[in-house]
Amino acid sequence: MEKINRFIDIAVIVLIPVALFYAFIYAPIEKEMGVIQKIFYFHVSSAWIAFFAFFITFLCSILFLATNNYLFDDIAESSSEIGIIFCTIVLITGPIWAKPVWGVWWTWDPRLTTTLILWFIYIGYIMLRKFVEEYDKRAKFSAALGIIGFIDVPIVFLSIRWWRTIHPNVLQQGGGGLHPDMKTALIVGVIAFTFLYISMLIKRTKLAYLFRRLENLKSSQGV
């Protein structure tokens, strides 16, 4: 485990500068949007990590309820926190990009709105963890929220897409035609961020595991 951890850390240190190189130097500058389009590589990579992290929380919540192994609870907790960080990055980089390109900071597009609601669901998840004292209740309650919250996300997306089709969306993004070099830069960015996520997850899970052991020791010693 220690070896894998070190390997991933080194991979992150190498991959992040590579991703920066691909995004800023290798990929061509977009004709219409200009330099601002560069944020796209970090925005999309962060969005991918946010969804992936919440999926891991969902998966570990199910595994925890099924096995009652607290390691899964540690992973679920750690992954949700990392997910919130990347979800926040998505919500900050999005408007920075949208303002010069679309002319508005925010639009009630299904993807934007779903990401915002996702952020609220997992902020609730983290708050719940902070405010439930007994560790077994905390683990079980947050597992329930981790499962229900994740199942809710596609329903939220669907409902908002139907809602927006009633009021046609003028600011639809012209997706699709990405320059091949841009696509490469995006793929490199996603890979680098995925390694960053794994590295952070291992460290945070270790911390959660140690913290839980410390709490157990304290309660067994009657401190």
* Three-class SS state of 30: strand
List the one residue out of 76, 10, 88 whose CA is nearest residue 46.
88
Q: Which is nearer to another protein, 9 or 152 (CB)?
A: 152
Q: Which is nearer to another protein, 80 or 199 (CB)?
A: 80
Work out whether 158 is an interface residue with another protein (CB under 8 A).
yes
Of these, 145, 196, 198, 200, which contacts another protein (CB under 8 A)?
A: 145
Q: Is-contact 92 116, C-beta < 8 A? A: no
The CB-side HSE value for 121 (13 A sphere, CA atoms) comes to 26
Work out whether 144 is an interface residue with another protein (CB under 8 A).
yes
Instruction: Number of residues interacting with another protein: please give it, by CB under 8 A.
Output: 32
Q: Which is nearer to another protein, 4 or 66 (CB)?
A: 66
Q: Which is nearer to another protein, 149 or 189 (CB)?
A: 149
Distance CA 98, CA 93 (A): 9
What DSSP designation does 36 have?
Answer: G
CB of 68 to another protein, least distance (A): 8
Of these, 160, 196, 198, 202, which contacts another protein (CB under 8 A)?
A: 160
Q: Which is nearer to another protein, 91 or 190 (CB)?
A: 91
**Angle formed by the axes of helices 70-102 and 135-166, nearest 10°:** 30
DSSP string, 148-211: HHHHHHHHHHHHHHHHHHHS--TT----S---HHHHHHHHHHHHHHHHHHHHHHHHHHHHHHHH
Binding part of the chain for another protein, among 40-48, 71-79, 114-122, 194-202 by CB under 8 A, reads 114-122
Distance CA 26, CA 164 (A): 37
Q: What mask, x for binding another protein by CB under 8 A, covers residues 52 to 91?
A: -------------xx-------------------------
User: Which distant-in-sequence residues (6+ apart) come within 8 Å of 69 by Cβ?
Assistant: 63
Work out whether 11 is an interface residue with another protein (CB under 8 A).
no
Give the residues lining the site for another protein (CB under 8 A).
65-66, 117, 120-121, 123-124, 127-128, 131-133, 136-137, 140-141, 143-145, 147-149, 151-152, 155-156, 158-160, 162-163, 166
